[in-house]
């Protein structure tokens, strides 16, 4: 059984190398896509997080909810 598998790998080595390289490329592309998405989210929320303005006054919101 092992000799059959070894013979199969020796004969079809180009196919296996192609499959492995495509899987590696797919993993790389998914990693880059996740990094781009995280960067876009970080960039779009930066102005909100670093703002000194009160975007929502929590105490006033509580008073409005009580009425």
Residue 42 included in any domain: yes
pTM of the model: 0.59
pLDDT band at 30 (very low <50, low <70, confident <90, very high): very high
Count the helices and strands in the chain (H runs, E runs). 3, 0
Residue 9 included in any domain: yes
Chain position carrying tokens 């997080």: 49
Residue 27 included in any domain: yes
Domains identified in the chain, total number: 1
Residue 63 included in any domain: no
- What is the span of the domain harbouring residue 29? 1-47
**Residue 55: per-residue pLDDT:** 65
Residue 64 included in any domain: no
Residue 60 included in any domain: no
Residue 20 included in any domain: yes
| Interval 35-63: pLDDT, tens | 999 999 998 888 877 877 766 677 777 77
């Amino acid at each position: 059984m092992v000799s059959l598998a070894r013979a199969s790998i020796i004969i079809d080595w180009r196919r296996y190398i192609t499959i492995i390289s495509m899987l590696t490329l797919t993993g790389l592309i998914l990693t880059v896509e996740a990094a781009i998405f995280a960067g876009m989210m970080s960039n779009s929320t930066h102005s909100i997080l670093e703002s000194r303005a009160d975007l929502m006054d929590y105490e006033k919101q509580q008073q409005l909810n009580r009425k």
